[in-house]
Amino acid sequence: MSEPALKIPDAPAAEPEMIGGSELATYLSGKLCHDFISPAGAISTGFDLMDDPSSADMREHALDMIRASAAKLIQIVEFARVAYGAATTVESFDSTGLKPMVEALFEGARASLDWQVPDMALSKRQARILLNLAQVALSTLPLGGVLSLEASRADGVFQVKARCVHERVRLKAEVSVGLAGQRLSEGLTGLWVQPYWLWLSVAEAGGQVSVREGEGQISLRAAIPARA
C-alpha cells in the first residue's frame, strides 16, 4: 500500500474544532479514571480477601492479585505522565525508554507489536504523539494482528507511523471523529477523547494527522515540524 498524502481525514465534513479548558480536562479525567479503576479495584479486592478470616486459603492468591494489579497501575501511571503531558520536569525522552511503555499496552492484548523505532531523542510533544498514536492504533486490532510502529526525523519533519494489519481491523467511528479533530456528536467520549487529544497535540505544533484504510489494514500517521 502506497504512503498516503498528509491530510486531515475527510469525514466528518465539519471544520476541526479546538476543544480545551475544563471541557477537555473533564473528558481526559474520565478516561484516566476508567483506566485506573480496574487495577485499583483489584487491589482493593485483594486486601478484602486478606482481611476475611474465612478466605485464609486465598491469601496467596490475594497477594498475587495485589502485586499484579499494582504493577499494572504503575504502568498506566507511567504511560499517562508522558502521554498526557504531566511529566513537566522532563524535557526530553529517549525512544528506548518509551518502548516498555508501549509494550505494556500489549500485555493481555491479542495483537503483537513490531517496534521499528530507532534509538532517538524525543521532545515532550514527540513522545506524547508516539505513545498516543500507538495506543490509538492498537484499538483498531481487538481481534489480533500486527501493529508496526515507526518513527523518523528527516527534512525538518518528525513523524510517527503505525500500520495495523488484520483481516478484521477496524477504525471505530469515535476514533475517526477524534483523529479528524471533530467534536463528538454521538458515541462514547471515552473512545473519542484520546484520538482527539492526539489530533490536538499534532495540530497545535502545526502538523497533520493522516488515516488510510485498506483491505485488512489501516495506516495512521502523525507529522509535525521536527523542532516541535
Residue 1 has pLDDT above 70, yes or no: no
Measured in degrees and rounded to the nearest 5, phi and psi for residue 151 equal -145, 145
Residue 218 has pLDDT above 80, yes or no: yes
What confidence score (pLDDT) does residue 5 get? Answer: 39
How large a percentage of the chain has pLDDT more than 70?
A: 92
Q: How confident is the model at residue 18 (pLDDT cuts 50, 70, 90)?
A: confident
Give the residue-averaged pLDDT of 146-169: 97
3-state DSSP assignment of residue 125: helix
3-state DSSP assignment of residue 185: coil
What confidence score (pLDDT) does residue 4 get? Answer: 41
Q: Report the C-alpha gap between 15 and 126 in whole angstroms.
A: 25
pTM for this structure? 0.89
User: b vs e for 46-55, b when ≥16 Cβ sit within 10 Å of the residue's Cβ?
Assistant: beebbeeeee
What confidence score (pLDDT) does residue 85 get? Answer: 78
Q: What is the pLDDT of residues 79-90, one digit of tens each?
A: 999 999 765 677
